Structure 1
Amino acid sequence: MVTTEVIVIGSGIAALTTALEASERKHVILITKSELRHSNSYLAQGGIAAALSSQDGVSLHKKDTLSAGQHYNKVKAVEKLVQKAPSAIADLIRSGMQFDRDHDGSLMLGMEGAHSVRRILHSHGDGTGRYMMEHLIECLKSTSVQVIENEAAVELIIGEDESCIGVKTLDRSGKLAVFHAERTVLATGGCGSLYRYTSNSQTVSGDGIALAFKAGAKVRDMEFIQFHPTLLFKNNKAAGLVSEAVRGDGALLVTEAGLPIMEGVHHLKDLAPRHIVAQTIFSYIQRGEKVFLDISMIKDFKNRFPTVSSLCEKNGVDLQLGKIPVAPGNHFLMGGIEVDERGQTSVPSLYAVGEVACTGVHGANRLASNSLLEGLVFGKALGGLLAHMQSRELPKEKEGTQGFAHLASLPDLPVLQEKLMNEAGIVRTGAGLTRLKNYLETFDIESLLDMDVSGRSLTEITKANTIIVAWLIAESALTRTESRGGHFRSDHPSEDDSLWLKKSVILACQDVKNRVKGRWRYEYIEA
């Protein structure tokens, strides 16, 4: 058993930034189930948004964020994000991070969907996430942060006072370890790999959400999932992301015959909010028509977008033809573990940051390039908070019986991916969501929540977690009988402000240690 002051679970921008800031005064252990370079942050082709030009301002960045989020956002969270963005970027540059610059040495600012001005910083064209991660990994080397790779968090430990006092982990050999900590941070990302088509790293499967829910934390807005409009689509498979910056540089979505599909759909056309573009592409694909990204107007495409170019070449797409085949896929979760303005979950001493957390900053649909920014801004804030917290004496672990779950019948991931894509994907219906919910409940959600991780393989635990998270998505999407942002119900296609705008569905796992049936409930709070 190891005891420390702060444990951070995850390996993306939010995890590393939190660990770096907290380590200035605390001993930090960072634990990741794979490696530091295996995260959505590392894969991020898009840039990072900040109001830095004379044509821009934090009020305009705020307006664009609220508009993309369908005004479902928590305004205070949005204000924190946009106000802290310029100084966070300045700190990053002072620490040695290199962003792309124009010939005169000024920062090069790009345009992406739903932004009203150019405010997107990039590094090496479409390699922003990778280069930011490499920079933070380098910074990590000069700290006392202890990094543990290839060790998965499988259960949060709850104390007699109902606070989180650490985590149990499982390494690749199947060895179970116990880490006690004064404060524990979940920075595990979203749940993209639960869908057949996704831009996400295959390691991002919703583990942190399942861990928190099983520990009694509140989870909210799980119905709001952003589907990126343009994943490279070859041989009926999604092969990776084609950055929105490509459309920002003028590329157009067209049919095989070359007809532009966004004409007359939205005044921003190809740079409309992502849910509108994704739904439009999906409607064409459902009719049996292929959709392409026409890049013929972009000069020197290979140098401008080296990551996308390499992806296309790897998958046999001839860029000289000027068209990239695309389809929408899961990209980002707006919901997650509910946190307050400090990153605190409903479980004392348990925090969440980044995509796994629901701060309310993204509302019903994330504005492009606000995700790396969220990890940076909220990670810095949470890390700074943890660094200055007083030490606490850890209570004893809370006693509780754990049940036995029969896992032999749990589906393999491809089966679940297909069902989620079909029933809880870009276009949803009450009938489809009910089918999905009923299917998931055949695996006894109660039993999966009770499962003792001792003696279980990581594969078994992961399967159980995926069922829990899929159920949260299905239940939330079924409950919201309107369409808003990343949640589109064809049987309830309109927004209903009178019923939903000021309300938020929260699912809370209740009485975790007492084995009471029906431990989840819905609460409705002011958004």
Structure 2
Amino acid sequence: MEKIETDYLVIGGGIAGLFFALEASRFGHVAVLLKNTFNTSSSWYAQGGISCVGSSEDTFESHISDTLKAGDGLCDVQVVKSFVEEAPLRINDLIRYGVPFSKDEKGNYDLGLEAGHSHRRIYHVKDHTGMAIIETLKKEVLQRSRITLWENHLAVDLIISQNGCFGAYVYDKETSRLKAFISAHTLLSTGGCGALYLHTTNPSSATGDGIAMAYRAGAILKNMEMIQFHPTCFFQLTPQKFLISEAVRGEGAKIINPDGKSFLQAFDPRGELAPRDVVSRAIFMEMKAHHYPYVFLDIRGRQRKWLEERFPYIFSFCLSQGIDMSKDLVPVAPAAHYQCGGVATDAWGRTSIPGLWAAGEVACTGFHGANRLASNSLLEAVIVAGRVARLSAEEKRSYSSRDLFNIKEDLVLEQESKRDAEIKKAIAKIREVMWENVGIVRCVSGLKKAQKEIGFLIDFLKSQKKEEAMSVLQLEAQNMALTASIVVASALRRKESRGAHWVSDYPQKQDVPKDTLISFASSSV
């Protein structure tokens, strides 16, 4: 097996991974692994923006309060305070790297408003902020001699010794060869697990790889039951849904049912600007009660020219579907969107395994709590990535032959397998089971049914190994099944309704909020 040594290994090329690479390259050589290519990370699809207090009318206290309210009792107050107060520094970093945040006619930053926010504080690049940040950071990364990009390199498992993590086993899709990337510091920035669900805004590559690898390595996972659903995704029959940004509602769009009636006020006085968990649940219940396949987003009061300028990406997509937002209603329905839980870390990205760090959607810092406030995710990703770069540079780690003596030279993986047709059926079943039983509204019987069916699928996937090599699709399926089982086990442990986890058997909150912690050592998953 080819061995590649580097000072820092980054698994994932979204905003967290690229920002970390730029910051860490000041201290050493960085290898960045991309499962596919740059435009396939969830970061690429982020439309709304990045939240930060940026006007005299706004305050840190207001941003902190909004985050805590959305997080529904599970946020770490000190983490929230420190992130909100650090936000202006990281916005300045992005501006320094060249991110072209939108400005108004006077040359001031055009701060947007999104659900759950009390003030306009969303820095954005029209309606394709993630794409713009990725392109900007990518351009910078390509100019750094200390950063090496490895596209189409799939991390298989972490290299673990009794002294912690020292890199990862990686499959090169282009050469069909396995490599061992060896590093004193490894950053997980693999994104979330939206592809576990039948309907999602995430790319098909969001299969929970980072969660599965961290779990197998023995890391502690936190609040994995908290899967956030975005309330307004364009209604279409494709698995990956096109997102209609929360910013559209921030600019005055209303949600109405097919009978033309508004209904959100009956669920929450904030209506369209209530947090995502509330709006998603309200839409879901309205659709279920009246057997609607979707509801509508109505922004017909805005002029076409303004919509084309403010939301060019969304307007263009809707037009391609035969819908002019200035004249027509937009059909929308909820879809799985963001993993609020993840690999447990402190405010500096440290996991429970020495040498293993995590940032972005794969991590759980305590910032989002039970339900992420809109546009807080990119903020968290940049803050934690920067902190990991600074702290890991101070923590001098080295490895010896003893740490690497058990490298698995016998690992075998191949691009395709004759069993892949059956594996695809198993993946489809996982997504169906999760959507039907572990979605916006849950019940204990449904969760137990999901636990049983996911267990059968795990056994089936294990039985497919046999003597032949495992295919890339089979590895992804195993990661999906394992991550799904963790989400279900976490949901069964939380006997209350809070934030993104609403279970009909326990509609009330417990008096004392508690985190759901799971690890290989403490779980029967």
Normalising by structure 2, we get a TM-score of: 0.92
Distance 1:32 1:332 in 2: 20
Amino acid at match of 2:310: R
**Deviation at 1:132?**
0.9
Residues 266-322 of structure 1, C-alpha deviations (whole Å, 9 max, x = no match): 121101010110011111221312310001112321222111112212333343533
Give SS of 1:319's match.
coil
Give SS of 1:102's match.
coil
Give SS of 1:321's match.
coil
Aligned to 1:323: 329
Out of 291, 298, 304, the residue aligned to residue 294 of structure 1 is: 298
Distance 1:403 1:235 in 2: 38
Distance 2:220 2:298 in 1: 44
Q: Is the 8 A contact 1:194 1:417 kept in 2?
A: yes
Out of 176, 191, 194, the residue aligned to residue 192 of structure 1 is: 194
Residues 155-207 of structure 1, C-alpha deviations (whole Å, 9 max, x = no match): 11112x24111101112243111111111110000101111111112211100
Q: Is the 8 A contact 2:461 2:478 kept in 1?
A: no
Give SS of 1:93's match.
helix
Aligned to 1:169: 170
Distance 1:339 1:360 in 2: 8
Aligned to 1:43: 45
Distance 1:237 1:209, change over 3 A: closer
Distance 2:67 2:36 in 1: 32
Q: Is the 8 A contact 2:185 2:356 kept in 1?
A: yes
Alignment of 1:322-401 (within 5 A): 322-394=328-400, 395-397=402-404, 399=406
**Deviation at 1:258?**
1.5
Distance 2:341 2:463 in 1: 20
Distance 1:31 1:403 in 2: 19
Amino acid at match of 2:517: I
Q: Is the 8 A contact 1:11 1:38 kept in 2?
A: no
Out of 512, 515, 520, the residue aligned to residue 504 of structure 1 is: 515
Residues 305-346 of structure 1, C-alpha deviations (whole Å, 9 max, x = no match): 111112212333343533100000111011011112221111
Give SS of 1:183's match.
strand
Q: Is the 8 A contact 2:209 2:479 kept in 1?
A: yes
Give SS of 1:213's match.
helix
Amino acid at match of 2:354: P
Distance 1:504 1:317 in 2: 43
Gaps of 5+ in 2: 413-418
Q: Is the 8 A contact 1:14 1:187 kept in 2?
A: yes
**Deviation at 1:400?**
9.5
Aligned to 2:415: none
**Deviation at 1:78?**
0.9
Distance 2:183 2:66 in 1: 39
Distance 2:433 2:322 in 1: 29
- Matched pairs, number: 509
Aligned to 1:456: 470
Q: Is the 8 A contact 1:153 1:167 kept in 2?
A: yes
Q: Is the 8 A contact 2:34 2:150 kept in 1?
A: yes
Normalising by structure 1, we get a TM-score of: 0.91
Aligned to 2:102: 100
Distance 1:11 1:282 in 2: 33
Alignment of 1:114-193 (within 5 A): 114-123=116-125, 125-143=126-144, 144-159=146-161, 161-172=162-173, 173-193=175-195
Distance 1:197 1:447 in 2: 23
Amino acid at match of 1:118: R
Alignment of 1:384-463 (within 5 A): 384-394=390-400, 395-397=402-404, 399=406, 411-444=425-458, 455-463=469-477
Aligned to 1:76: 78
Distance 1:115 1:493, change over 3 A: same
Alignment of 1:275-294 (within 5 A): 275-286=277-288, 287-289=290-292, 290-294=294-298
Distance 1:126 1:453, change over 3 A: farther
Amino acid at match of 1:288: H
Out of 297, 304, 310, the residue aligned to residue 304 of structure 1 is: 310
Q: Is the 8 A contact 1:85 1:373 kept in 2?
A: yes
Give SS of 1:180's match.
strand
Residues 458-507 of structure 1, C-alpha deviations (whole Å, 9 max, x = no match): 11111111100000011111111111101010121111224xx1x21211
Distance 1:63 1:274 in 2: 16
Gaps of 5+ in 1: 511-518, 523-527
Give SS of 2:448's match.
helix
Aligned residues: CA RMSD: 2.5
Aligned to 2:416: none
Amino acid at match of 2:280: A
Aligned to 1:8: 10
Give SS of 2:382's match.
helix
Distance 1:210 1:270 in 2: 36
Amino acid at match of 2:364: C
Give SS of 1:79's match.
helix
Aligned to 1:23: 25
Q: Is the 8 A contact 2:497 2:508 kept in 1?
A: yes
Distance 1:308 1:447 in 2: 39
Aligned to 1:466: 480
Amino acid at match of 1:294: D
Out of 260, 271, 274, the residue aligned to residue 272 of structure 1 is: 274
Q: Is the 8 A contact 1:354 1:375 kept in 2?
A: yes
Q: Is the 8 A contact 1:23 1:387 kept in 2?
A: no
Q: Is the 8 A contact 1:162 1:398 kept in 2?
A: no
Distance 1:349 1:229, change over 3 A: same
Aligned to 2:263: 261
Distance 1:452 1:187 in 2: 31
Give SS of 2:385's match.
helix
**Deviation at 1:48?**
0.7
Q: Is the 8 A contact 1:293 1:325 kept in 2?
A: yes
Q: Is the 8 A contact 1:227 1:426 kept in 2?
A: yes
Distance 2:340 2:464 in 1: 27
Distance 1:507 1:113 in 2: 31
Q: Is the 8 A contact 1:403 1:447 kept in 2?
A: no
**Deviation at 1:257?**
2.4
Distance 1:392 1:154, change over 3 A: same
Q: Is the 8 A contact 1:11 1:37 kept in 2?
A: no
**Deviation at 1:398?**
6.0
Distance 1:453 1:262 in 2: 56
Q: Is the 8 A contact 2:202 2:240 kept in 1?
A: no
Amino acid at match of 2:445: A
Distance 2:117 2:97 in 1: 28
